[in-house]
Amino acid sequence: MSVVRSLIKFNPQKLHKDQWGFHLVLLILSLFMLLPIVFIVNHAFKPFTELFAYPPTFFVKMPTLENFRLLINFSAESGIPASRYVFNSLFTTTLVILLTLLISSLAAYALSKLSFRGKHVFNKVNTLALMFVPIAVAIPRFLIIENLGIFNTYLAHIVPMLAMPIGIFLLKQFMDQVPDDLIEASKMDGAGNWRVYWNVMLPLVKPALVTVAILTFQASWGNSESSSIFMDDESLRTLPFYMNTLVAQSGNIVAGAGLAAVAGLVMFVPNIVLFIVLQNKVMDSMAHTGIK
C-alpha cells in the first residue's frame, strides 16, 4: 500500500514517514547483495589456517598478505610474464565488446524498425537461438575454428564470442519501445537509415547498450575455454586461463587454495571498476531521453 501512496505524493520536501519502510526493506536486502563482494575480499586475505578451518568462517580473523606474495612468486617463476596475459585479455575483451555492440545493435535496429522480407523469420530464429544451450554448439565449434584457419590466432578468441543472441534480444526489446513516430519524424527531416541509427537510435538505447557491454565483458573476461581449446601457443592465452594454471601448477592443495582466493579477487577488480565507471549510464533514466 504505502509503496504506491508515495508515488502519488510528488516531490516530497522532507523524508516522508512512509519512506522509512522502503529504506528498511532495501537496506536489509542490499546487505545481502553485498555479501559476495565482502566474501571475495575477505577470502583473499585469509591465512592458510583459516582457509582450511572447520567449521569454515566467512569473515577473516587475522588478515595477511601471504596469498598475494605467493601469487607474485609463482608468476615470477613462469616463463611468460603475467603482463602478456593481461594484455591478451584486455585486447581481446575490448575488441569483443566493440564488435558485439556494433553487430548486435545494427541487427537489432533492422529487426525492430526496418521492414524487409524475412524479418519475422529472423526474429523467431534469434529467439530460438537464445534457447539452445551453448554447449549444444560448443562441440563442433572446434572443427569450424580449425577449418576457418584461425586456430591459434587472436581471432579465435574474438570471433566465436560475437554470436551472442542475448545481446540482440535485449537491444531489440529496448528499441521496440522507441516510438515509430520519432523515427519517421527524423526521416521526414531528411535523415537516412544510417543517420537515424547512429544519431537517434543509439543515444536513445544507451542504457541497453551499456548493459549489453557489461554482459559481454563478463562473458569474455572470464572465458578460459577459448584459451584451452583454440590455442596452442602459450603467449596467446588469456588471464583467466593463466590463473587456472597457476592454481593447478602450484602443486599442493594448501598453496592452491590461497592462490585461488587471490586469483578470484584479481579477476574481480576490473569488473567492479568497469561497473562503477558505467553505472551512471546503466541507470540513466530512459525518461530523460525524450522517449516518454
Partner 1 sequence: MITETKKGKVEPKIIKPVKTRLSLKSKQSWTGILFISPWIIGFLAFFAYPLYRTVFMSFHNVSFGLKTGWRYKWVGMENYQRIMFEETDFVVAAQNFFVQTLLYVPVIIALSIIIAVLLNQKIKGKIIFRLLFFLPVIILSGKLMENMDTYGGMSLTANEFILESLYMIIPSKDVVLLITSLFELIVQLLWFSAVPILIFLASLQKISKEIYEAASIDGASPWSSFWKITLPMVYPLVSVCVIYVVVFLANFETNPINSIIMQSKYDGSRREGYASALSILYSLVQLAVIAILYYSTHSRSTKGR
Which residues in the 247-286 window bind partner 1 by CB under 8 A?
264, 268, 271-272, 274-276, 279, 282-283, 285-286
Q: Is 106 in the site for partner 1 (CB under 8 A)?
A: yes
Residues 209/278, Cβ–Cβ less than 8 Å: no
> Which of 88, 89, 92, 211 contacts partner 1 by CB under 8 A?
211
Q: Is 19 in the site for partner 1 (CB under 8 A)?
A: yes
Q: State the alpha helices, DSSP H only, in the chain.
A: 2-8, 19-44, 48-51, 66-77, 82-113, 119-131, 134-148, 154-162, 165-176, 180-188, 193-195, 202-204, 206-221, 225-229, 239-249, 253-283
Q: Is 150 in the site for partner 1 (CB under 8 A)?
A: no
> Which of 70, 71, 82, 110 contacts partner 1 by CB under 8 A?
110
> Which of 41, 86, 90, 107 contacts partner 1 by CB under 8 A?
107
Q: Which is nearer to partner 1, 152 or 244 (CB)?
A: 244
Q: Which is nearer to partner 1, 80 or 269 (CB)?
A: 269
> Which of 77, 83, 115, 232 contacts partner 1 by CB under 8 A?
115
Q: Which is nearer to partner 1, 84 or 229 (CB)?
A: 229
Name, in order, each residue with C-beta under 8 angstroms of 230's C-beta and a sequence gap of 6 or more.
142, 145, 151, 152, 156, 157, 160
What is the spatial distance between Cα 183 and Cα 112, in angstroms, rounded to a whole number? Answer: 11
What is the spatial distance between Cα 197 and Cα 285, in angstroms, rounded to a whole number? Answer: 20
CA dihedral 269, 165, 133, 141 (to 10 degrees): -90
Residues 289/203, Cβ–Cβ less than 8 Å: yes
The CB-of-137 to partner 1 minimum distance in angstroms stands at 4
Question: What is the footprint of partner 1 within residues 64-83 (CB under 8 A)?
Answer: none
Q: Is 10 in the site for partner 1 (CB under 8 A)?
A: yes
Question: What is the footprint of partner 1 within residues 118-137 (CB under 8 A)?
Answer: 119, 122, 125-127, 129-137
The CB-of-68 to partner 1 minimum distance in angstroms stands at 18
Q: Is 103 in the site for partner 1 (CB under 8 A)?
A: yes
What is the spatial distance between Cα 69 and Cα 259, in angstroms, rounded to a whole number? Answer: 9
